[in-house]
Each structure stands twice: as C-alpha cells, then as structure tokens.
Amino acid sequence: MYSLLFKLILTRLDPERAHHLAFAWIRRAARTRVLRTFLTAAFAPRSRYEALRTEAFGRTMHGPFGLAAGFDKNAIGIDGLTMMGFDHVEIGTVTAEPQPGNPQPRLFRLVKDRALVNRMGFNNEGSAAVAARLAARDAALGKKRSRTTVGVNIGKTKLTPESEAVADYVTSTERLAAHADYLVVNVSSPNTAGLRDLQAVGHLRPLLTAVREAADRAVTDRRVPLLVKIAPDLADEDIDAVADLAVELGLDGIIATNTTISRDGLSTDSATVEAIGAGGLSGAPLKARSLAVLRRLYARVGDRITLVGAGGVETAGDVWERILAGATLVQGYSAFIYQGPFWCSAIHRGLAERLKDSPYDTLAEAVGAGTRKAATR
C-alpha cells in the first residue's frame, strides 16, 4: 500500500515538500486523541514487546530503535513520531542562531539505491525558539515527561566563524540541556563548511569539555548524558582517536554515523549523481561503512561508552546486526521515507523474533555478542 503511494504520488513530489506533507499528517493525527490511541496501537505496540526493553543513559527505554537527527529539526512533532513507533527521537540539528539553510532544491532521492542525498545546511529555528518549544512540551506533559526519550542534537551556526565555534555550541547547550534526555554534539554533517574539521582531537577536546561544563552549569539536578556524532568518512586512526578521547573525557556515547560524502558503489547513473551535486549520502549504500565504523569503535571502547548505530539501517536484521556489533541503541532515517508508516512496527516485530531465537535473554546480553563470538572462534 505505502509502496504504491510512494511510487505513484510521493516520488512525483519534490522530496522536501513530500517530507513536510507527511510530517504534517503525522502531527495532525497525533493531535486527535482517538486517532493517536488507535495509531499508537497499530504502529507502536510497545506492550507487545516487553523483551525489547533496554537501558541507556540511565533510562529504561521501551526498545533500542529511534529516529535519527534531521527529521524533526525544530522539535515540532516528537509525540507524532513516538506514535509511529520510535522509542527515542533525536531532534535537531539545532544551531545557536536561527538560519534558513541552503537554497532549494537540497534534498534528493536515489530510488534505485534506496538512498537520499541532502545538503539542507542545518535549516532550523535556532536554540532559543526550540528550547521554548521543548519547555512548553515538558510543562504540558508534567511527570509523564519520561515516557519518550528526547535527544537534542546541536551544531554550529553557519555565520559563526570557526574560531568562535565553541561559544556557539555552548550557547545552544545552555538553552537546550535542561530539555534533553541526552545531548549530541554534531561535528559530522558535510553541509556546514569546516564543521567536520572539529572532529580532529585538537578541536574536539576543548569543544566537548566546554559543552560538558555548560551542561553541568545549566542543569544541576541531574547529569545530562553527552554524546558525539561522527562521520563515516573518518580514517580508521581518526576513529580510534575520537574513541580514546571519548573515554578520556568520560563521554556517555558515540553515534556512528552521519551521512557520507562518498558516492562509491551506487546503482544510480553517474550523470544523475553528478547533477545532484554536493551533500551527504544516506540510506542503503551507507550500511557497510557505518557498520564497520561501529565495529571499530566497539573494539576500542567496549562497554565503557554507549554506542548508537546509524546509517543504512533498513530491516530488523540490520538493527540486530548493529546490536551484535556493539550498539546499545540504533537509529534510522532514510528507510522511513522509503518504507513508510509501518516501518518501525516491522522492525520491533522482527527484533523480538530474533531475540527469542537467540541464546540471549535480554538485548543487553546481545550487545557486542557478535564480536565476542568472533574473538573466541
């Protein structure tokens, strides 16, 4: 049904327009209580999969699977996305100041590759507006706040010079940390000039230290978990260097990975790919590299740091593979566009089956088990 809708209607619409349209439907449905209850039961049957409960960042989560950053940049649809079955929703990237992002068109489908290319450029309403929206949501939910895990992903404002990048992230942290179940320092999007240079340890150390201190100043009644999100294009030695730094600084997590600037191995013809131009590639072609980065990280940090797998995740089998490779949580984005509203529930169902057929009683036992088995073989 969705594949027909996708083929006949959605692929004819500009991808960014299709995104806004679909997201508007999701938000509208979530505002109507009867519809929300009905759709939650259809899309996110959480009570059915008790076994998928998992612990991360000091929280008990309904399951390991969530929505990666970039879908809900301004935190306008967290409850609708929860209704679709995502157990955590990472909002952003939010920058200190509001900004329009790059000129359109800036989002492209590579249907043959089940992939997307985007050069959105952190279009968002800015940290003050997003913080106010999250504060209003927190107030409305009251004690129920803990139901959905909300990650807040922050990045650098385009107009801020690189020499003032730390202050830009600190401003966002001061405004947003109180509303974050976890905070992500994004230094890996390819669409803000110079941003990925911040992954070099010499830049990353002062940045992460300053954000940690700002979060601790802003929120005194709990410790806000801090993560860093890295690119799949890092050289292996640089991945190791980030991993070592994360351990040294006592970071809570690493998200691997963001989109890639590589265009290797695509089925879409090269003229089309070239005509699209610059941007980050996501979806199926990213799968192998993101998994390899995750494996390398797990070999380096083990269970000292919580790893979050992202990049090319399409099926329950992919999620299970990331868990066995060392991910405690797993995120997806592009496959949601290609597979539609029942994507999450299919992932949950498949994951519960895999866990049942495995030698492990809990997901926690399965985290990294693939690498342990390989080591003892």
Enumerate binding residues for ligand FMN (CB under 6 A).
68-70, 73, 92-93, 107, 116, 118, 120, 122, 153, 186, 189, 229, 258-259, 282-283, 286, 310-313, 332-335
Nearer to ligand FMN, 248 or 268 (CB): 268
To ligand FMN, the closest distance from the beta carbon of 338 in angstroms equals 10
Is 194 annotated to bind a ligand? Reply is no
Q: Is the CB of residue 210 less than 8 Å from the CB of residue 230?
A: no
Rounded distance between C-alpha atoms, residue 195 and residue 203, angstroms? 10
Rounded distance between C-alpha atoms, residue 11 and residue 365, angstroms? 41
Rounded distance between C-alpha atoms, residue 107 and residue 70, angstroms? 12
Nearer to ligand FMN, 40 or 118 (CB): 118
- φ, ψ dihedrals at 258, nearest 5°: -80, -165
Is 119 annotated to bind a ligand? Reply is yes
Is residue 267 part of the annotated active site? The answer reads: no
DSSP string, 128-169: HHHHHHHHHHHHHHGGGGGGSEEEEEEE--TTS-GGGHHHHH
To ligand FMN, the closest distance from the beta carbon of 330 in angstroms equals 9
Beta-bridge mates of residue 152 = 91, 183
Is 345 annotated to bind a ligand? Reply is no
Is 124 annotated to bind a ligand? Reply is no
Residue nearest to ligand FMN (CB): 70
Nearer to ligand FMN, 313 or 329 (CB): 313
Nearer to ligand FMN, 111 or 374 (CB): 111
- What is the CB neighbour count within 10 angstroms for residue 65? 26
Structure tokens at 69: 């950053």
To ligand FMN, the closest distance from the beta carbon of 69 in angstroms equals 4
To ligand FMN, the closest distance from the beta carbon of 287 in angstroms equals 8
Q: Which alpha helices (DSSP H) does the chain contain, by range?
A: 2-8, 15-31, 33-43, 78-83, 127-141, 165-176, 201-218, 236-249, 270-276, 287-301, 316-325, 334-339, 343-356, 363-366, 369-376
Q: Which of 127, 172, 188, 189 is catalytic?
A: 189
Nearer to ligand FMN, 40 or 189 (CB): 189
Q: Is the CB of residue 130 less than 8 Å from the CB of residue 124?
A: yes
Distance (Å) of CA 132 to CA 88, 322, 371: 20, 35, 43
Nearer to ligand FMN, 120 or 307 (CB): 120
**Collapsing DSSP states into helix, strand and coil, what is residue 255?**
strand
Rounded distance between C-alpha atoms, residue 205 and residue 244, angstroms? 11
Structure tokens at 314: 């399409």
To ligand FMN, the closest distance from the beta carbon of 354 in angstroms equals 19
Is 71 annotated to bind a ligand? Reply is yes
Is 335 annotated to bind a ligand? Reply is no
Is 48 annotated to bind a ligand? Reply is no
Distance (Å) of CA 261 to CA 88, 310, 351: 26, 16, 30
To ligand FMN, the closest distance from the beta carbon of 290 in angstroms equals 7
Is 334 annotated to bind a ligand? Reply is yes
Which segments are annotated as binding site for substrate? 73, 118-122, 186, 191, 258-259
Active-site residue set: 189
Which segments are annotated as binding site for FMN? 69-73, 93, 153, 186, 229, 257, 283, 312, 333-334
